[in-house]
Amino acid sequence: MSRAVPASPYPPLHRGAVAARLVGGGLLLALALSLVGWSIVRLANGSALTRWEDGVNSGLAAARTPTMNTLSHIGSYLAETVTCIALLVVMVIVLRVWLGRWRESWTLFAAIVGELLVFLIVTALVDRPRPDVPHLDAAPPTSSFPSGHTGAAVAFYGCLAIIVLRQLRPRWLAVTVASVLFVVPIIVGAARLYRGMHHPTDVLFGAIGGGLWLALVLVTLLPRVRDDGEPDAPDAVPGRRERQVADVRTSTGVLRSME
């Protein structure tokens, strides 16, 4: 006898609506980040902001030590492409086995893959040079803005942290694991700065972009569910509001016929 699959606590997905929201939101996010990056490169070049960034980059390069070089390499590697791919494959399987459904696995997949696509669009449009300091890593051909490592860390580890907070029990264990996961993007961003691979605003907007994309993915694929089993967002299930209005009208008509 086959084992029954646990029922999903989330409303059913409508592929067209999901695709429209994710694709449209992703394009808007990419456009907004591109405008920010373009403004920094074209308008703020030589300003107090970029002079401050140059000072930060030079100061971090001058303060390097062999120990910090090693630690920052480990921190940066937490969000390397090969690391994210390997962890994604593992966690997709783990989430499926643990929760008995694919919903969280697909959400994690959408979080990291969508962030990558947004990053590639922005980096192709902005084309910001990397800091003028010695680089501790081989510089990839992509633009310095935004930090892809930081954005990927926010999207991937942040998504795992939210899933853990919602699903893992006891609560203290969930909070402990999620806290560790939330710290990872900070470590990654600091490591990328230290190693001379990004300007401070690259890391900042990499984190913002990854966070906004993650928020969009979570609202779309894993909406918060109230205690009564209904999603927090009234539009999470297309047509729900219309059905509610129709039910009210039907009830009103019945009451009037009884008068």
The pLDDT tens digits along the chain (259 residues) read 344 445 677 788 888 999 999 999 999 999 999 999 999 999 888 899 999 999 999 999 999 999 999 999 999 999 999 999 999 999 999 999 999 999 999 999 999 999 999 999 999 999 899 999 999 998 887 889 999 999 999 999 999 999 999 999 999 999 999 999 999 999 999 999 999 999 999 999 999 999 999 999 999 999 876 544 455 544 444 444 444 444 444 444 433 444 4
Per-residue pLDDT, 10: 78
This prediction's pTM: 0.84
* Alpha-carbon distances, residue 151 vs 11, 108, 131, 142, 211 (angstroms): 28, 14, 18, 14, 7
**Nearest one of 145, 138, 142, 132 to 209, comparing CA atoms:** 145
Domain ranges across the chain: 15-242
Q: Enumerate residues 6+ apart whose C-beta is below 8 A from 60.
A: 133, 193, 194, 196
Upstream peptide bond of 134 is cis (omega within 30 degrees of 0): no
Per-residue pLDDT, 148: 95
* Alpha-carbon distances, residue 45 vs 22, 37, 248 (angstroms): 33, 11, 59
Q: Enumerate residues 6+ apart whose C-beta is below 8 A from 151.
A: 115, 118, 119, 206, 207, 209, 210, 213
**Nearest one of 78, 86, 81, 111 to 192, comparing CA atoms:** 78
Per-residue pLDDT, 235: 42
The amino acid at 217:
V
**Nearest one of 30, 72, 62 to 189, comparing CA atoms:** 72
